[in-house]
Structure 1
């Protein structure tokens, strides 16, 4: 305080000298301390700017509560005094000189000369944990009124103690923003670890990107379990920041919590842009953030120059790189310049060249440059700006200038895809290009056999993917299925190359279905397909009285069999045929009927039936004694004797003759044939017993072939080998005979003339199997005897 008083006395003395009209230069102030003179430039908002253009917040830097300004004429000097009151109420009288100057285009600005003095801060620390004597460990000269952010490093750790920070003699904590009014000693403060609980207060400040950064961390001490409230630890003097109570810790308990975290948000500053009395833009910017340049304002007959804090343009200019630290208002500054009319013409390319599609009449100040890049914002669908042909940056130098901009058509690619029955054939794709909204109809016809074009394709060119689909579909044909009389059974539509689905063929009496007359698996045209039939054939077998075959004939449905010659039997005469041989509809057996000469008739042993008379007169037979059979009395039975046109009716053993009133129908002559093979074209049947015999031979051969012995002598092995060979030969011969003589796809019956052969081979196979097994058993017995010996 003594030193401060001395300074005040010196300043008062200087002020007295000025009052006596003695002009003393500012740097002539003398004292035992160095005096520095700073030069500050004021603007209309009374914010100070130093000689290098850096903005200085007057209130924070000098803590001025009142000051005196003197308006001066240009280049005039006035010396006088003004007083400033510090935050602690101490008044300082400083020498002030003012001069009206033109500094960097800033007219009518005042220059203030302020005197500041250096003070020294000495940092004192213990020598050691055992010796608590303080000694100086650092020293820093600090210019009044701030230490300008200087902060000493923490001293060396002391065993058993925790460093709490630097404190002055009055017990105030030394901070980097502490006000230094005089030389100052600050002392390292420690707390004994066993006495107090240490906690750390962390102060976090918001960054421009929204994150928080540790601004300062300080250790403190408190009694164990003492409640530490956040509001008691809020840091003051953080310019541009506001305490965020919601995000910060509310409190901690000493001894239980180690840290108290406090957060500070950046204050919001308002930057306003005005065009006269009209507000154009208001921006809320975080403290030290940057405002953005608003849209350029327009005033008819004037050209915009800049944004300035004064309406006359003599204040501070707006700069997008300046940090916003307080609320500001900027005014649009204009200058009056001649305005000229000019025309912008827009041309679009077409098939004949370029066509004018739009004109704009505008005005601009003389010297204005029309930027061609800005004109590219005029976007037309399907066109692109032709920078080479268009006018470049044009300066308006006269009235009625014309500026031309050109736009070329854009070619858009397209692809032609070919589909066949909905399947893409990518190898046939074709590529092309066209202009926006062009209609593409031409394409290469790539039709295939059996296909047809679904419809004529067309493509309208667009900005995005352009695809023309050429679709072919298979031709379709009508397929009709007809019966043998030509009547439609079924009709269906079939695609080219597909197959038709045949219906079930209708049944025809006396005939069997053999197939369809045309192929239906690969339809390539419309077709009529007719069902095919063959007349059924049946076997008519004529037998003698003992069952021996006289004749076997194949007769078509509804036809008559041809009567064969009748074998003669001595002593008997032929009386007719028993069975059906006319209008054949099934297989039939017709038996010859005889009677002993002198007897009425010789019927079959069991079931008497119709007897057909012989075709020739009876032969004289020797007398044979035949017991007369007892004949049943059928309700009505016809016996034909003599002429085939004469029928004899046998009723109750009496014979009566009736002449036919009509002639018999003409009978088709069928040649008598010998019984053919079962697979032939006549009988068309096969014997199931033959198949059973073949399977038996094959199974026995396989069983014999697979039988084994572990040990047997050479002689026994040779015998068994021969039996296997013979068994295999028999099986193969049986299979060959069956395949040659039988056709299993024909109707089936029990036996035929080859059955005896097949059964004989099966019997031989059984014998060979028994012999083979006998050899095996004998070999095993012999081996057993040898083993027992």
Structure 2
């Protein structure tokens, strides 16, 4: 049988014996052996002045109480009491078979404790008062309040049970209506000025209804990027400041050739514009621009500047007037002197404009007028020595007499023969001092050249002072020519 009573019958042989405490009712409903977790089934008799109700415990030792009996007028049911006059309750654990009796008391002698508690914390007593049985319960303390949280404010609504007549000890608990809180959120611009303020409920994501803007400068433009700190769900009053991305202002630079636009550029502030190339105008020379665009800070119109184009003729000839180069060039431009043609028996000296030396091949000159340039040369020295030896022989013979300016030597003559050497005296003098030739008495402006003995030009130039030095690199014999005079020198 799946009833607590059946386990009790097994324990007492259906009431014929004292309860053995062996059997209980298992969780599956069938009798099983009792233990410390499953207590033996007991019988509890509720006796109300002879009216009884038999109840049986469950495996936890608890019993289901009958409804409280109706007391006689002027009395109050006090409760069920065991043989030791101890009041039992639905929470009492019964460990033996027993009878409990209903007890009544005079209503005028019964007082009940009525407690009023706040909602939080739950053990906060707002008022505790003793009421005579049957009297009306009424709260007489201060108005209940509940501290707000970040999310809610609270308004007292009443009690969890509407107070009525006192018929037992009773606890009332305050009940509140909650209202979600709102907070002020302020949005400021980057300069600290307020864009707007608005209220938002707790937990909502705030937003600014106006698009933040920042005034551009000559150098920068700004676009709204977000907020600092980043927007977050509302939990309190907050202030946010707008932040911006910045970018350089670009200015239009227009390049003009007369009335013609030759280029347009959008240039970031502070950067240079790039000048167009090959700016031309027929009959004129481009000389630059009317204004600087190296650092652009505003819109610019840049105009090309020109001057009248002047063409110069450059005619390069040799000493005989034969053409070497004939060309035209813009006034003021550079002209590179060409290679001079070779001329047999001569060494190229330099290019001249009249008597003015311009330079040698590869040098550049500025041309500011029509010009004829002449290549000049220096005659190479002869391969024989410039020292001229004049030998004159004279012999005396008793029978012969000189008949001409040339003297012949009689081989059969026993007379003594004499040789006379005559040297052409140069117009300048030269002395050897170590590895240096010291020249004196040379004509200023005269052309000079130093040759080795094979006729190769080692050094050439014009005499600038009457006395000067020419360094030589190594020992040996050299030929020094100044104007038409050549002198042989030896350096040791």
Give TM-score, length-normalised by structure 1: 0.23
Task: Kindly indicate whether structure 1 or structure 2 has the higher relative contact order, using CA contacts under 8 Å at least 6 residues apart.
Answer: 2
Give TM-score, length-normalised by structure 2: 0.33
User: Which one has a larger percent strand, Structure 1 or Structure 2?
Assistant: 2
User: Which one has a larger percent helix, Structure 1 or Structure 2?
Assistant: 1
